Structure 1
Amino acid sequence: MEFLQSIFTADNVRFLLSGLQTTLLIAVITVTLSLFFGTILGLVRNYNKGIAGRLAAVYIETFRNTPLILWILAIRFLVPIPAFYSGILSLTIFTSAIMAEIVRGGLNAVQKGQFEAAYSQGFGFFQTLTLIVIPQCFKNIVPSLLSQVITVVKDTSFLWAVAIEDFTGKGMILMGRFASSQQVFTLFACMAAVYFIINFTLSGIVRWQNSKNNSGQKPVLAKV
């Protein structure tokens, strides 16, 4: 007990919790921005066959096929903004490409007859997308979106490499203060447990959503 008390003092716990707060804040902002930009990218790539669609495809494939840590380092050292914002920016531009492909999958899952039915009722392309297709798309991709949220939470741990004091960064700072390897590994195990609890909870939501979607209910065409 004394051994644990020497590690998890009140100051150390507050220090770690402040890092956890930073981690969750970065994750929430990243997911929100990435979903917005990813939706735009997915729509452009899926429905624009011109230069805009090609540029969206290049963006998506570039970030999907390169390491996240590369962009974290590049943005941190090449873009003159504070570390906290560079972390959000790097995660957002990377995750937006992943979100775009998730959105594209949801769009392609919407039956093509939805467009024909909407056009027959006098809807334009934009109205059909915003009122009929996109709502169905997001309903289809909820499990995939939640899975990506889990990935984003884990990916924030890379930010300590550029001195951003998130949960992992704070933990690494504390580890440097301990002389005993037993203390270091105990703290490391505690950090891993916190990540596990957060992501296991989110995984439970994903499994629940998947079971709900696979409960045997057939998709109903939107009425227009």
Structure 2
Amino acid sequence: MADLFTWVNMQFLLQGLGMTLAISAVAILCSVVLGTFISVLRTSGNRALSALATVYIEIFKNTPLLLWIMFTFFVAQLPPLGAAVLAFTLFTSASVAEIVRGGLASVAFGQYEAAKSQGFSTMQAYLLIILPQALRNMIPALLSQFVTTIKDTSFLWGAMAVQELMGRGMILMNSYNSTEQIFTIFGVMALFYFIVCFTLSQIVRAYQRRTKEARTS
């Protein structure tokens, strides 16, 4: 078993983990932008735009992620990394839109009125007054969504052979034959996923505790 835990093997898996985190981070950032835009459309007074945003959210919330990964890769025929980021952005932005909607709802309506009374346009009110306040309430849910995205990148190897953590692990398994070695590699991959996701979960809990203490003090 000692030959499994070489620096070359660990570096190979860590590079896959780096790819996993990079895809997840870019997808989340893009999803925040798109999800915020969709959420603003949904909460706008325009019925047509609100309906369009609602349809988008319902479509992506009620279809599997793997479907969109396959679509962006095989139908849109994008390069693997581009297809991966696009699929995750389209899919995750629906959930982010709901998170943003909840964050916007947590801001007192008086803040909207105060911004309007100061001469802010609707866009300025959202960008300068409302969204910064809502963001504080959205951070835990956004970090939780980041955790979900990290775990879901494991679909990418089977769908388009992207060498993220799962893909690198599967490649490494081809170099070993025994069941014990293969399950050990699975265990190492699980440990990497656990460390990253557990760390982010702890950050969420710590932030929630600090926010709760600040409100009660």
- Cα deviation per residue 1:36-60 (whole Å; 9 max; x = unaligned)? 1111111111114332221111111
Post-superposition shift, 1:8?
2.2
Q: How many pairs are equivalent?
A: 215
Query: Secondary structure of 1:202's match?
Result: helix
What is the alpha-carbon root mean square deviation over aligned residues? 1.4
The answer for the alignment partner of 2:34 in structure 1 is 37
Q: C-alpha separation between the residues in 2 aligned to 1:118 and 1:81?
A: 43
Residue 190 of structure 2 corresponds to residue 195 of structure 1: no
Q: C-alpha separation between the residues in 2 aligned to 1:182 and 1:67?
A: 33
Alignment partner of 2:59 out of 57, 62, 79: 62
Post-superposition shift, 1:216?
5.3
Q: C-alpha separation between the residues in 2 aligned to 1:84 and 1:130?
A: 31
The answer for the alignment partner of 2:101 in structure 1 is 104
Post-superposition shift, 1:117?
2.2
Q: C-alpha separation between the residues in 2 aligned to 1:125 and 1:53?
A: 16
The answer for the alignment partner of 2:134 in structure 1 is 137
Residue 32 of structure 2 corresponds to residue 47 of structure 1: no
Query: Secondary structure of 2:120's match?
Result: coil
Q: C-alpha separation between the residues in 2 aligned to 1:197 and 1:11?
A: 20
Q: C-alpha separation between the residues in 2 aligned to 1:179 and 1:49?
A: 61
The answer for the alignment partner of 1:177 in structure 2 is 175
Unaligned segments of structure 2, at least 5 residues: none
Query: Secondary structure of 1:6's match?
Result: coil
**How high is the TM-score relative to the length of structure 2?**
0.94
Question: Which of 40-49 and 95-104 deviates more?
Answer: 40-49
Residue 68 of structure 2 corresponds to residue 71 of structure 1: yes
Percent sequence identity over aligned pairs: 46
Q: C-alpha separation between the residues in 1 aligned to 2:154 and 2:92?
A: 15
The answer for the alignment partner of 1:23 in structure 2 is 20
Residue 124 of structure 2 corresponds to residue 127 of structure 1: yes
Q: C-alpha separation between the residues in 1 aligned to 2:9 and 2:148?
A: 27
Post-superposition shift, 1:103?
0.4
Post-superposition shift, 1:126?
2.2
